[in-house]
A and B are shown apart, each in its own frame.
Chain A
Amino acid sequence: MEIKALGCEPLSLRRVFIKDGHTLDVYRKDGGYKSLKKAMTMTQDAIIQEVKDSALRGRGGAGFPTGMKWSFVPRDNPKPKYIVCNADESEPGSFKDRYLMEYDPHALIEGMLIAGFALGSNTGYIYGRGEYRYLLDIMDVAIKEAREAGILGEKVLGNKDFSFDLHTHTGAGAYICGEETALLSSLEGFRGHPRMKPPFPAIEGLYASPTIVNNVETLTSIPQIIEMGGIKWRDLGTEKSGGTKLWSISGHVKKPGVYELPMGYADMEKFIMKDCGGMLRKDKDLKAVIPGGSSVYIMNAGQIIGQNVTLDYEGLVAAGSMLGTGGMMVMDETVDIMESTKNLTEFYKHESCGWCTPCREGTDWLVKIFNRISTGEGRPEDAQLLLDICDNMEGKSFCPLADAAAWPIQSAIRQFPGDFKKWLFDNVSSNGVKPNVQ
């Protein structure tokens, strides 16, 4: 697997290339915690303004502007305020946060400290998915180092007006706990059901106190922004999509991995076919790409090849999909898109938290129909039936998981009608394979 920056200096990936960059000593020698020092000489408003200027959009998938989110926290609210790092990373196709925590835990701590200072918070939690135990252990070691060095705890770096402590917290296997309100329910020790919004977490989050939930990559970008200045950081990317972005790329490419690219990188075809080494098997053509984690629209090769798709929020929307988490899954011609869509639908059925009917029942029905199709019992009207169920879920459920389940199906039927036709009319896969019925 590759870890590499292209078209820019490694910024988020900087410490990957520095020996022992995960240790406090090396991190400090490399300029670590200087941004925190700088931030503590600034006003809270000035810090938030830098983050706004940077055009940083949340890297957890939804892409909400981080500076704006921070400005929603009511500063005069007497309740304690919390900074929560979303390290749940469960979106299929996404695996970037893992390497940030492994190679650069202090950048995350520094980002959370700056957020804490800017928002008047004294406590932070890092919510990691249960399977990431080894990463939470790495974070715990780094937190201990920072505490012993007077960076975390009472009087951060001697600043008598600012105390901040940080703790790791483990999830236990539930994709829905990546959704920020479900995450907070889980952090309070309950089942991971999402909560009604509004009130948004910035107003009423953890323990009904103002809370900012940000993704690992979002928070590790903060020290960079404070160091360089918001505008300069933004200009690494485009005016609307600031900075650099980590892409996780998997599937049928020669060099899968985590790549840091400036926002607006041109273009998607070059990235897949050259930078990532092209197709894994020379004689197999590109068929499909899911560009932003499993929850976004699937693209066919025609939407990518020769289309000059830029890799940023706007470019992927224009190309008919979304940036999401930047988790790219690449499929060659051997993959049947009915089967790949069935696989992802099983994921959403498994991960539906069961709270609301359209999603709980809808994902269950979808899987039943996919099962029927894949055993050769599909009927011509099944494509429409799948779309009707998606219609009843999309925008009609309690949280975005239901939309995330519907979009892959809607786009798969739209972009790969041939694969579905084969199954529904001839009861064979796109490669002519008869179903293997037990």
Chain B
Amino acid sequence: MKAHVAKYPADRSRSALIPLLFVVQRERGGWLDNPGVNFLAKFLDLEVTDVWETATFYSMFNLRPIGRHHIQICKTLSCKIMGEPDITDHICSKLGIKPGETTDDGKFTVTMVECLGSCGTAPMMQIGFDYYEDLTLEKVDKILSDCK
């Protein structure tokens, strides 16, 4: 965590807030809980409300528990016209959930997201931080069965 703070001028440690929120999110099992946020506020010498103020602005910070594999399907135009709806239907019916939901065993969460900069390899999705591109239904089956 100190390495993150060291990137910025000494009196500007707040700049490390977003990178460190990712660290806290990872350490707290994929979402920002109160103990994690309180710890970070203390570490950066910020008010807890300052941390929440920033954290709640950004879509990649989860404010609720989330599945071990966070499937983020791009729903923006290039993916949409290249077959996203079929991919989404397939994944959702396979997992028995709707976008925005988590499977009962806590293994998968499906979220619809906006363009991830892979429009040339549409349709695409991101699981965690990994990109999966040029998706087909067969590819999706393989990717899901590889998720442990």
Contact = CB atoms under 8 A, between A and B. Distances in A.
B49 interface: no
Interface in B67-100: 75-78, 80-82
A350 interface: yes
A335 B82 CA distance: 10
B114 A350 contact: yes
A2 to B, nearest CB: 8
A207 B11 CA distance: 10
Contacts of A334: 81
Interface of A is mostly: mixed
Interface stretch (B52-60, B101-109, B135-143): B52-60
Nearest to B117: A95
Contacts of B81: 251-252, 331, 334-335, 340
Contacts of A134: 129-131
Interface string A127-141: 001111110000000
B7 to A, nearest CB: 4
B7 A190 contact: no
A329 B21 contact: no
Contacts of A290: 77
Given A132-B117, A190-B54, A250-B120, A93 B77 contact: yes
A130 B119 contact: no
A131 B60 CA distance: 8
Interface string A93-113: 111011000000000000000
A91 B118 CA distance: 11
Nearest to B59: A173
Interface stretch (A40-48, A50-58, A163-171, A382-390): A163-171
Nearest to A92: B115
Given A169-B15, A188-B14, A340 B117 contact: no
Interface string A166-198: 010111111100000000001111111000000
Nearest to B18: A172
Contact of B80 (A1, A94, A192, A343): A343
Contacts of A188: 12, 14-15
Contacts, number: 141
A338 to B, nearest CB: 13
A173 B15 contact: no
B60 A248 contact: no
Interface residues of A, number: 56
Contact of B59 (A174, A207, A256, A329): A174
Nearest to A248: B120
A189 B77 contact: no
B129 A250 contact: no
A173 B14 CA distance: 18
Contacts of A129: 117
Interface in A1-52: 1
A328 to B, nearest CB: 9
A93 B122 CA distance: 10
B120 A95 contact: yes
B16 A189 contact: yes
Contacts of B18: 130, 169-172, 186, 189
A189 B121 contact: no
B132 interface: no
B35 interface: no
A327 interface: yes
A426 interface: no
Interface string B41-58: 000000000000110011
Contact of B14 (A169, A170, A189, A340): A189
Most buried by B among A186, A189, A335: A189
A341 B78 CA distance: 12
B115 A90 contact: yes
A70 B144 CA distance: 49
Interface in A119-175: 125, 129-134, 167, 169-175
Given A189-B16, A329-B77, A343-B80, A89 B117 contact: yes
6 contacts: A169-B7, A172-B59, A174-B58, A188-B14, A192-B57, A331-B81
Given A189-B14, A257-B120, A344-B76, 17 more contacts: A94-B117, A130-B60, A131-B60, A133-B129, A134-B131, A167-B7, A167-B8, A171-B18, A173-B58, A174-B59, A175-B114, A188-B15, A190-B53, A190-B54, A252-B81, A294-B115, A344-B77
Interface of A: 1, 80, 89-95, 97-98, 125, 129-134, 167, 169-175, 186-192, 207, 248-252, 256-258, 290, 294, 327, 329, 331, 334-335, 340, 343-344, 347, 350-351, 353
Counting from the closest, the 5 A-B pairs by CB-CB distance are A172-B58, A173-B59, A189-B14, A250-B119, A189-B17
